[in-house]
C-alpha cells in the first residue's frame, strides 16, 4: 500500500508537471501566432507602400512621356534612369506579391 501511495504522489506530480508544460507550450504557441501576425502586417504594409510607389512612378512616366515641357526629346540616358527606377519598383512588387501569395496559400493571411 505504501508503494501505491507513492505512485499516486508521483502521478499527481507528473500531472502538475504536464499541466505546467502544456501551459508553457500554449503560451509559446500564442507568442508564435503574434509574431506571425506582426510579420504579415509588416509585409502587407510594405506591399501597400510598394503599390503606391508603383502608381506614382506610372503617373510620373505618363506625365514625362517621351518629351519634356519644352517639346524636346529626352536623351536616352534620362529615359534609362527613369526606367531603371520603375524596373526596380516592379521587381519589388513582384517579390512582395510572391510573399503575399505564399502567406495566403500557407493560411497566414
User: Cβ of 93: how many Cβ atoms within 10 Å?
Assistant: 15
Q: Are 103 and 109 in contact (CB under 8 A)?
A: yes
Overall pTM surpassing 0.85 (yes/no) = no
Sort 107 into a burial class: Cβ within 10 Å, 0-12 / 13-18 / 19+: exposed
The alpha carbon of 66 is separated from its chain's Cα centroid by a whole number of angstroms, namely 37
Per-domain residue ranges of the chain: 33-106
Per-chain mean pLDDT for the chain: 75
> pLDDT tens digit string along 4-44?
555 556 688 889 999 999 999 999 999 999 998 898 888 88
Amino acid at each position: 500500500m505504501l508503494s501505491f501511495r507513492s505512485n499516486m504522489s508521483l502521478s499527481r506530480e507528473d500531472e502538475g508537471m504536464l499541466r505546467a508544460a502544456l501551459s508553457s507550450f500554449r503560451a509559446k504557441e500564442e507568442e508564435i501566432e503574434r509574431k506571425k501576425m506582426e510579420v504579415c502586417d509588416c509585409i502587407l504594409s510594405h506591399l501597400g507602400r510598394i503599390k503606391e510607389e508603383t502608381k506614382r512612378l506610372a503617373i510620373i512616366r505618363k506625365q514625362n512621356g517621351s518629351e519634356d515641357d519644352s517639346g524636346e526629346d529626352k536623351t536616352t540616358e534620362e529615359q534609362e534612369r527613369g526606367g531603371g527606377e520603375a524596373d526596380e519598383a516592379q521587381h519589388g512588387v513582384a517579390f512582395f506579391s510572391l510573399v503575399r501569395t505564399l502567406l495566403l496559400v500557407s493560411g497566414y493571411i
